[in-house]
Structure 1
Amino acid sequence: MSLLQVENISKSFGGVKAVQSVSFALQPGELLALIGPNGAGKSTTFNMVGGQLAPDSGQVLLNGKNITGLPPRAIWRLGVGRTFQIAQTFASLTVIENVQMALLSADRMIFHWWPRAASHRRDHALALLSQVNMQAQAYRSCSDLAYGDVKRVELAMALAHDPQLLLMDEPTAGMAPGERVALMELTRRIAQERRMGVLFTEHSMDVVFGQADRVAVLVRGKLLAEGTPQTIRDDARVQQAYLGTGLVLEKHDLPSP
């Protein structure tokens, strides 16, 4: 059984068919990149998986359980984490306090945090920060961090409730090339160690072809192609779909097989 099974989901906004009968699956420990030109339906598909949007038809299954149309909070409780294009952290809190806040939420204590947040599961928070190589900066304010480090803190927060599936919305947006690769290499290692599936959208093709196990390509709301990075790299339909979009798919700019 797949960790995530998306079956023929569709979504329209008025007369615009944003997503049309899209299907794909994700296995434990696997990274699946969802890519496509602007307006391809990536965000709509991503948000139907995460519960921000309900599909008009089709279904989303998590470990065989139908989660179609459930609100994001309910999906989160079932073991789905998420990071965002713009990192969602508390700039006024320290690094460890950010993770402790995520742990309080995971423990359903978010409305009781004031008297106990500073001591809540400190060892667990430090262990999560160690996983993302941020333990040494645990007591720095998030407002003082470089953006790449903020993204690592957000990743630690997303791991606080031990998710089976992690949704990453353009995780490397705004990052320098070296930071992009480092973040996704870290994510890949954690996913393999935890047997956690990762579904991510991304515009940086070096990240997609360098880190994803499989790639799904959307064009005009339909699934155009799906397969390994090598298969997608060599697909003439994918090359044609990206011409003129500003996204680079030329072979000399992509990692070698």
Structure 2
Amino acid sequence: MSLLVVDRLNKRFGGVSAAKDVSFSLAAGELLAVIGPNGAGKSTTFGMVGGQLAPDSGTVALAGEAITGLPPREIWRKGVGRTFQVAQTFVSMTVAENVQMALVSRNGRTRNLVADTRALHREEALALLDGVGMRADADRPVSELAYGDVKRVELAIALAAEPKLLLMDEPTAGMAPKERAGLMGLAARLARERGIGVLFTEHDMDAVFAHADRILVLVRGEVIAAGTPEEVRGDERVKRVYLGETGVKAALRARREAVAP
């Protein structure tokens, strides 16, 4: 059974169709990239899956349970984590405290705290930070970190909720090329090790074609192609309306580098 099933989602804003019969599925441990030009409907689709937007019609199911139109907080509690294009962290707190706050929230202790939050779930937070390569920085303020490291902390925060599904909105935005490759490689490894489905949007075609198992291409709110990186790379319509010859060459290079020993 698929982890996530999206069936014929539709969303209009005035006279503009931002999503038209968008359908796809995602398995546990799989990475599915949603790509397309600006205005393609990527953010709208993401918003409907994550609960920020209610679809006009269509359904979203997580592990066989309907989550269509539920508020983001409820969807989070059902096992959907998220990272954002601009990292969402508490910059005045330490790296470990950021993750501990997520663990406190997961365990339902956001109200009437009687203990110092800094003492709660410390070891679990350190283990999560170890998994993203940030344990050595646990007691540093987030404000002191390079942006690529902040993104790793945000990933640890998302994993604190033990998600079944992870939504990553432009995960490599603002990062240097080496940082992009490192973050996406880390996300792919953790997803497969933990059986987490990852749905992500991304403009960096190197990151997409190197790490996605499958790719969904949107143009003007409609799915024009879906399949493996090789299938999408060879799709003539995708070449014509989005990738172009330069993008195809970049996709080939990224895939070769990803599978090289």
TM-score range, shorter chain: over 0.9
- SS of structure 2 residue aligned to 1:73: helix
> Is the 1:21–1:222 contact (alpha carbons within 8 Å) kept by the matching residues of 2?
yes
Tell me which residue corresponds to 1:218. 218
Shift of 1:250: 2.9
Paired letter, 2:122: R
- Residue 114 of structure 1 deviates from its aligned partner by 7.2
Q: Structure 1: 5+ residue runs without aligned partners?
A: none
Determine the structure 2 residue equivalent to 1:180.
180
Aligned residue pairs: how many? 255
User: Does residue 105 of structure 2 align to residue 105 of structure 1?
Assistant: yes
**Contact between 1:104 and 1:113, CA under 8 Å: does it hold in 2?**
no
* TM-score, structure 2 normalization: 0.95
Shift in Å, 1:116: 2.1
Q: Give the structure 1 partner of residue 169 of structure 2.
A: 169
Quick one: which amino acid aligns to residue 234 of structure 2?
D
Distance 1:114 1:173, change over 3 A: farther
Contact 1:79/1:164 (CA < 8 Å) preserved in 2?
yes
Q: What residue number does 2:146 align with?
A: 146
Kept in 2: contact 1:242–1:248 (CA 8 A): no
Aligned to 1:249: 247
Q: Is the 8 A contact 1:233 1:251 kept in 2?
A: no
What is the CA–CA distance in structure 1 between the aligned matches of 2:251 and 2:212, rounded to whole Å? 16
Residues 55-77 of structure 1 show CA distances to partners (whole Å, capped at 9, x for unaligned) of 00000000110100000000000
Match of 2:64 in 1: 64
CA deviation digits over 1:146-170, x for unaligned, max 9?
0000000000000111000000000
Q: In the aligned structure 1, how far is the partner of 2:220 from the partner of 2:189?
A: 33
Q: C-alpha displacement at 1:212, in angstroms?
A: 0.3
The answer (yes or no) to whether the contact 1:205–1:248 under 8 Å persists in 2 is: no
Structure 2: distance between partners of 1:45 and 1:215: 14
Closer/same/farther in 2, CA of residues 86 and 113 from structure 1, 3 Å limit: farther
Amino acid at match of 2:34: L
- Displacement, 1:29? 0.1
Specify the alignment match of 1:40 in structure 2.
40
Q: Secondary structure at the match of 1:111?
A: coil
Runs of 4+ in 1 over 3 A off after TM superposition: 112-115
Q: What is the Cα-based RMSD across aligned positions, in Å?
A: 1.4
**Secondary structure, aligned partner of 2:8:** strand
